[in-house]
Amino acid sequence: MAAAPGRMLLFVRGLEVAASVGIYPDERRARQTLLVDAELEVDPPRADTIGETVDYDLVPRTVERLLAAQHYDLVEIIAMTLADALLEDRRVHRVRVCLTKPGAMPGDAVAGAVWRAGRE
């Protein structure tokens, strides 16, 4: 996702989390690894202080809160729910969330979902 002119793109890539996700019985019994990439479009800071921007820690805190709450059948729903939760911070204008489920495919193949959302 490219940031709009005059906006900044913050990102977190490769965040490894454990999630209860999947439609098969064995997926419901044990948490699985998901990789989270998130991009947040924000206004640039006007001073060199954390209060002027969105703390990167918003992403792992939000992911942990959502994944602790319930089992999800679909990574697509996790991606959409995470995007909505990140947009609750009014300083975030647009988000792109990519979830990769490494164990979903045979061999080294991976599967996942990408969701983009914003208020504009």
Q: Is the overall model pTM greater than 0.85, yes or no?
A: yes
The mean pLDDT of 96-108, rounded to a whole number, is 88
User: Which of helix, strand or coil describes residue 13?
Assistant: strand
C-beta separation of 56 from 13 below 8 A? no
Closest by CA position to 3, among listed 80, 89, 91, 93 = 93
CA gap 43, 51 in Å, rounded: 12
**What's the mean per-residue pLDDT of the chain?**
92
Closest by CA position to 93, among listed 118, 114, 115 = 118
CA gap 1, 105 in Å, rounded: 26
Q: How confident is the model at residue 120 (pLDDT cuts 50, 70, 90)?
A: low
Domains along the chain with CATH numbers: 8-118 (3.30.1130.10)
